[in-house]
Structure 1
């Protein structure tokens, strides 16, 4: 194949909004280079994607596969945001049943590459006989995968007990003090099915041509180099894929106008923003402690409280303390279900972000230099991100019980105040502000994507 010949690339993300959007960003870049993209997901996930720019629509096709019904999965659920964590295993079982329609599609469509997520452990064995190359694109950073280990660890029984994940592993060859807390690994095990996430990762790392990561050498040089050594194959950073603010014509959104009017009355970097992502569902007790801590901080804030998924067993009743909104009405804005997060973080009155530590949210915050109040969502990579960012002094982690994850409102208030206003938090505020040079560097991100595009073109041309 000539390198100038255009490729047909299939994209197959996991069923979570934090996954489908980075996959779409990579799709758009490859389509700009003239390659033909088949973006594969379920109808509801495709329907929620933003409209494509007209100049890309001819090169990107959306391929809808209906998600098979699996006993235990709530009717109509097609993403992690629609199910509580203990129902995620059923979503994985349904996703695994997309193997048959995906095989049929690939057999008929002359695909050169499939860029896939962490879940379809069966994909390399299916793609290889069809002559299709595979890229495992992980939307997580390199640190989290270093902590998970090489394939022999992921597929073996090196770590038998949850406690084994709470120590720094012996294969790390640079100074490191990052590990899971016990409550985080126990919580994450709830969302694994018969094939664990670690087994899925191990099989995919072994079976792919190379691994692509949402990171860059400017932020994680040692981690990327070690991953290459652990995997014995190329680990290709794609850059941070910083999202762009919506165009000005979208600013007429009434919800945003009301938020902006409120923010405009506040001082520069005086407000902290709170959002715990689309998948974190705290207990009523934890939500109350968090609310009391926010109240005790005595600082202005914007808090997005999302609608909880079906069959959550908590419901929305009294999820925040009675009278809370009235007591904080002079300095707090409570938003229900959805808010334009990127626009809020971009506003000059926002100084900090109380986050669940999802990597996408971290990238959005540091793109605008916002200091981080780290409150791990206790799933997947979130605890590891909290430790990483705490260590880099761009945020401060809220103190929690390592066994059960409990915390006090006083620790929440103290952490917020230190990050936002107190003198000892100045280093955090300064470091976070300086991170814009990496996290808001569109040219840097473009260079990484260019390198990735050249790699798959040259690989395809050589076979």
Structure 2
């Protein structure tokens, strides 16, 4: 949701009227629209229908375990009728203040891959669409178009997803480990919503879809944009990385600037030497188990490194997670925080020298491309393995070895990867490569230029 809001803000700052459509709880999570944008950016909250089996109040993937995500998509499919009403009102000129631009017929609908029910609504009102993908370009290239998959069929066997697809005609690291490949194969099968994720995505290949927009850029993912434009037979264009303007505050810290107390984890970082701490966070949705937590703890202990760990309890686990005596043994050099951690503020701190991550695209963008941190990489599902392989190939991170079949890993291997990044001569080269990549990819002027070019594409495609 945050990349969608960041894109909305950038369009509003360029003089366009934007309606950001979400659900009530999700809209509340995103906070207030900046006052200077209130005249051009509004939030429309549509009530999410209830679905049997979906927890009450669940409105995002962060609210549910992985096995419930299909039900969440089913609930979101129930938004088709209220969204159709919203669009019809706008087209009829009956919705809001005309001076704000919200009562006119929309020029474009920009939406996520999963809302395949938007296409017929847009076609009824003759409104062009753009699908906005917040995953990296690599996963689109790996999945491929409907036509490419019909020409080169893949079964649901894991082996078919452990090699690069034949339509990628240049050398690439783009392949999945066996345990990752099983999850990728599942994307091609219908889930609890009755539709597969890939089928939802492929439905974008309708005439009203004029553009595919990516939260990425050629500097971050070389060679892929021309390939995707040919593969999907429509322009595939970068929106840039859409990093929030604020260094701290607003995007994950709550109150702005000096209006908030300094979190205790930041005070602890203040007492650590420069670039000496590994920040550890595996995101809000990676399917982390109690065994993963235990081995990760042992790895951090064995590594001897300073660390700050934002620990998320596995879904459904209520018992002890950390090995007996762990926090006592690492006292002074390691901090475990089970609650909220101001991640952007932590990553911006001078004491942080590396990031141990699940390699979600948002986390990679935030840590590597924004702050130039080398990575200790522990991918789990979806695009994360592709990201890890690409970043290893670019010399900015080290991947923790895992069992090919079940994805398990050992504490000793975590420790070895951490030491390679933090202590050994290799770590200096990784850090240097990460800073050099950040200087290229993190160029703010170029990133804003991508948004300007996107606006030009939208105008031409209207």
**TM-score of the alignment, normalized to the shorter chain, above 0.5:** yes
CA distance in 2, matches of 1:408, 1:102: 48
CA distance in 1, matches of 2:297, 2:217: 36
Give the match for residue 178 of structure 2: 182
> Which string of whole-angstrom CA distances, capped at 9 and with x for unpartnered residues, describes residues 127-167 of structure 1?
11211110011011211211111232467882212321111
Match of 1:148 among 133, 143, 152: 143
Match of 1:250 among 234, 246, 257: 257
Match of 2:130 among 132, 135, 155: 135
Q: Structure 2 regions of 5+ residues with no counterpart?
A: 91-104, 250-254
Give the match for residue 215 of structure 2: 214
> Which string of whole-angstrom CA distances, capped at 9 and with x for unpartnered residues, describes residues 386-413 of structure 1?
1111111111110001111011100000
What SS does the aligned partner of 2:308 have? strand
Q: Is the CA contact (8 Å cut-off) linking 1:181 and 1:383 kept in structure 2?
A: yes
CA distance in 1, matches of 2:119, 2:312: 37
1:24-423 correspondence to structure 2 within 5 Å: 24-109=5-90, 110-153=105-148, 158-160=153-155, 161-187=157-183, 192-193=191-192, 194-207=194-207, 208-243=209-244, 244-246=246-248, 249-254=256-261, 256-308=262-314, 312-315=315-318, 317-366=319-368, 367-376=370-379, 378-423=380-425
Query: Structure 1 residues 325, 206: closer, same or farther in 2, change over 3 A?
Result: farther
Structure 1 vs Structure 2 CA RMSD = 1.8
Give the match for residue 99 of structure 2: none
Q: Is the CA contact (8 Å cut-off) linking 1:228 and 1:235 kept in structure 2?
A: yes
CA distance in 2, matches of 1:206, 1:391: 35
- Give the TM-score, by structure 2 length: 0.90
What SS does the aligned partner of 2:42 have? strand
What SS does the aligned partner of 2:248 have? coil
What SS does the aligned partner of 1:209 have? strand
Give the match for residue 94 of structure 2: none
Q: Structure 1 regions of 5+ residues with no counterpart?
A: 1-19
Pairwise CA distance, 1:102? 0.8
Size of the alignment, in residue pairs?
435
Pairwise CA distance, 1:245? 1.3
Which structure is richer in relative contact order (CA contacts within 8 A, separation 6 or more)? 1
Q: Which moved more, 1:23-32 or 1:197-206?
A: 197-206
Pairwise CA distance, 1:118? 1.2
Query: Structure 1 residues 82, 364: closer, same or farther in 2, change over 3 A?
Result: same
What SS does the aligned partner of 2:55 have? coil
CA distance in 1, matches of 2:138, 2:186: 22
CA distance in 2, matches of 1:205, 1:350: 44
